[in-house]
A and B are shown apart, each in its own frame.
Chain A
Amino acid sequence: MFKRGELTSSQIITLVLVIAGLAFLLGFLYLVFGGSGQTVSRETCKLSVLTRATAPDEISAQIPLNCETEKICFTDKLFGGNCKQFVGEEGVRVERISSDPDKAAKTISEIAANAMYDCWSMLGEGKIDIFGKAWSKFGLGDSGSPTCIVCSRLAISEDVENIDEITKRIDVDKYISENNVPGKEITYLESFTDKNFRVSADTEIDFKQVDNLDGSPKTISGGSDNQIAFVFSQVKTKKWQDVLANEAGLVVGTSFFVPGKLAIAKALYLGPQAILTVPITVGLAVLPPLNAYNGRLAAAGYCGKFSSSDEDYFEGCSLIQGVDYNVQDINSLCPSSIQGKP
């Protein structure tokens, strides 16, 4: 006979199973919704993009783009550690990096590559007419002006030790060309270029100084907030076919990728910015601000027809570009408007 309060074996087993099930459920929920809710934010953005692109013209502009700028702060502190660039802002994702410069650089390269890829993937790889009739609704003027979404902002905490050694080793372009997209059998580069382009780690790209359109030398934009951003921009124009050209084998068909060595590393560090330029002929007439910016950071893009519910489809170019997060550089790329949520 059982004493009062004594549990039977079946009760104990039930209790253990319930607790284990609860722990599993909480773990699953954390994976899906955990941290700053990245997965939900990305899927919400993607859904809003698809909804807008497939909605009738009359209401597409009314559908908000539910795309929030992701903020990523790199720190080597186990506890605490924050980036002053994001003070007061919500949803900052803190990524711990190793004190070993090689490992830290690899982590930063990986996260930067993922940020770039996620943005591109989330926004339909540049093939969806995202802004549709919103162009006229928001008074964005002629379709020749790019409109943007700031997908993510990345910054390194000023508390990080060995920051010089870390930034010297960051090479996002190499990471993009050599590593597969998580869960896929293709590299990031193949993904950006529709599997049409492969590049080996030995490929050397010649860089040349490109001045502003008026011939004046490009000046360093010191910026007031030392961080980089991955910005998606889209411009509607039929002129892209006249200017899109193969450059050193990098531009393939209508999807292209242009690397920018060292620039991302320098941009992340709280210090002087480097001038490093890449010849991008596609920028000359189609995306004038990009040419003025000189394409310092890696960029991937698509030029061609956009998918839209509009029978009279649009053509143009989409670009995902890493830029310094300051007024001059961002507004060079986005003179008209930034959509989405900060």
Chain B
Amino acid sequence: MKRKGELFGENIVGILIAVIGLGLVVGIIGQQIYRANVDNEGDSARKTLDGIIGKIENLQDGETGSFAVQGFTESNNWYLVGFDSRVQDRPDKCFLESCVCICKNADQGFKNACQNEGFCRFFDDKEINVQTLFDEVYIVSFGSNGGNSVDATKDLSAFCIHLPSNLFEVMVSKDVDSLSIVRNDSSSKSIKYVSGGSNVCFS
């Protein structure tokens, strides 16, 4: 007659292997289910940022490169922004370092947008410049008294990159103490500017 626990003792190896196998199966299936249900937009934004950063890191100091960045579903809600370590007005998640962030819904300002709904990557204390150069911009100004005016201007720049919904090219210049990410936007733009307020994509 078998003693209490003897059955367990005889099959300990089999049980152990079964547990490990089951754990692997559950883990792998769970991972795939997670992948299928993860926040697509946020995940796409993070991947876009990581792709840009990966290519930046592939550059040596003193090098310049350009590469295409692919848009994604709802990418026009997202902005690429740089925060210098010397600037006070920056998201807490950048800590004490310079950082490049991809952030959503910049209506509340980039600091809050990047802190609440953004992803950031660090660059020590490099001088960061993330910029869009426009060929031609029409600024529609809305005055506080309800009037408005339209001014055309050239060579305007914005200190951020608004992600378009298709493919766009960025030029990166990397140096020991500086990093510049620039997008040339040759399409005509109409930008609303509210007097007394601020369009968050301008300096």
Please list the residues of chain A having a beta carbon within 8 angstroms of any beta carbon in chain B.
Answer: 8, 11, 14-15, 18-19, 21-22, 25-26, 29, 33, 37, 40, 44, 64-66, 69, 84-85, 87-90, 138, 148, 150, 224-225, 325-327, 330-331, 334-342
Contacts and interface: CB of A to CB of B under 8 A. Distances in A.
A271 to B, nearest CB: 17
5 contacts: A15-B17, A69-B70, A224-B67, A337-B166, A341-B47
B104 to A, nearest CB: 15
Nearest to A326: B68
A340 B71 CA distance: 9
Interface stretch (B6-14, B106-114, B137-145, B188-196): B6-14
B36 interface: yes
B24 interface: yes
The binding surface of chain A is classed by DSSP as: mixed
Contact of A342 (B24, B48, B168): B48
Contacts of B66: 224
- For chain B, give the interface size range: 35 or more
- The 5 A-B pairs at the shortest CB distance, nearest first, are namely A88-B54, A337-B165, A330-B167, A342-B70, A64-B40
Contacts of B52: 88
A338 B71 contact: yes
Contacts of A334: 166-167
A40 B33 CA distance: 9
Interface string B13-40: 1100110110011001000100110001
Interface of B: 10-11, 13-14, 17-18, 20-21, 24-25, 28, 32, 35-36, 40-41, 43-44, 47-48, 50-55, 57-58, 66-68, 70-75, 165-169
Contact of B14 (A18, A37, A148, A339): A18
A29 B40 contact: no
Given A8-B10, A89-B50, A225-B68, 14 more contacts: A22-B21, A25-B21, A26-B21, A29-B24, A40-B35, A44-B35, A85-B67, A88-B55, A89-B47, A326-B68, A327-B68, A327-B167, A335-B166, A337-B165
Nearest to A22: B21
A89 to B, nearest CB: 5
A338 B167 contact: yes
Contacts of B11: 14
Given A88-B57, A341-B40, A224 B25 contact: no
A19 B17 contact: yes
A306 to B, nearest CB: 19
B50 A90 contact: yes
A339 B72 contact: yes
Nearest to A342: B70
B167 A90 contact: no
Given A44-B35, A88-B53, A29 B25 contact: yes
Contacts of A337: 71, 165-166
A342 B32 contact: no
Nearest to B56: A88
Contacts of A336: 165-166
Nearest to B17: A18
B53 A342 contact: no
Contact of A327 (B17, B36, B73, B169): B169
A339 B68 contact: no
Nearest to A227: B68
Of the listed residues A148, A327, A330, the one surrounded by the most CB atoms of chain B closer than 10 A to its CB is: A327
A339 B73 CA distance: 5
B172 to A, nearest CB: 11
Contacts of A325: 68
Contacts of A148: 166
A48 to B, nearest CB: 9
